[in-house]
Amino acid sequence: MDDQVLDTLCVRFGHAVTVSDDNNERIIETPDPDAGPHEGNNYLIGGSGASIDNQESCLYPVQALPIFKKIEDLSNKVQTIRMEHTLLCNEVKGISADCLLGSEAFTTLQNLSTEHELLKKKYNEECELLKRKYVEECSERKRVYNEVIELKGNIRVFCRCRPLKQDEIENGTTSVIDFNSSHDNELQIISSDCSRKQFKFDHIFRPEDNQEAVFLQTIPVVTSVLDGYNVCIFAYGQTGTGKTYTMEGMPENRGVNYRTLEELFKVCNDRSSIMR
């Protein structure tokens, strides 16, 4: 609508300028100085058109000045609108390019997500396979392990020799056990007549061996309990030989019983992640 008004005003403006230029040419002509006053007046009247209509035509450009001003303002507005239109077009193009990049990024993200799911599925399958193999290997290890225990003997006898007490040492008592043997699992007992009797065991603990050393020899048998085997550990001997100390021990130095229970709970906790 503004463009049509602008075009109409431009046509009128051009017409008015043409009429104004013709009238100005007639008015600006210099009169003859030798002519009389009447001739001069007639010339002016003739130059100005000698009629009221021509005089109004001469005044027309003056009356049209506000219109010209409006035309100029509208022209400036049109230029401004065109510039804004150009800027908006460029902005739309930029947004379209960003949308295209965003679409490509979204497609790439979808592809990465799909690839991630495939890799996740693949790794889960591999983990399940490794877990099954691990369980199978654990079962095989248990079987072989317990076969080794059986080969060593279902019944195993250990001998622990306690050290002499302080009062025994003060009374001059001496040890009657001789460990100077060619084998670690053999010892000799010196009789009152100085004769020697040799004994053989699965393992011999000397007086300097502590509670930890005793328990380390029982751990293999203890582990078999969690593999489904029946196990029995006990101590026997004369009164005062250290049976209670070996099996129960002291609060600061536990014996086989307490250490066995701690080991069983520890193994159960270690196997809880694979045995459901």
DSSP string, the chain: -HHHHHHHHHHHHHHHHHHHHHHHHHHHSPPPTTS-HHHHHHHHHHHTTSSHHHHHHHHHHHHTHHHHHHHHHHHHHHHHHHHHHHHHHHHHHHHHHHHHHHHHHHHHHHHHHHHHHHHHHHHHHHHHHHHHHHHHHHHHHHHHHHHHHHHH-SS--EEEPPPPPHHHHHTT----EE---SSTTEEEEE-TTS-EEEEE-SEEE-TT--HHHHHHHHHHHHHHHHTT---------STTSSHHHHHTEETTEE-HHHHHHHHHHHHHHHHTTT--
Confirm or deny that 14 is annotated as ligand binding: no
Confirm or deny that 243 is annotated as ligand binding: yes
263 contacts 219 by C-beta, under 8 angstroms: yes
Can you read off the two tokens belonging to residue 27? Answer: 């008015």
- Cα-to-chain-centroid distance, residue 184: 58
20 contacts 64 by C-beta, under 8 angstroms: no
Confirm or deny that 86 is annotated as ligand binding: no
Q: Nearest CA to 72 among 8, 11, 6, 20?
A: 6
Confirm or deny that 260 is annotated as ligand binding: no
CA distance 166 to 241: 15
Confirm or deny that 79 is annotated as ligand binding: no
Confirm or deny that 8 is annotated as ligand binding: no
Confirm or deny that 223 is annotated as ligand binding: no
Confirm or deny that 77 is annotated as ligand binding: no
Binding site listing: 237-244
Binding site listing for ATP: 237-244
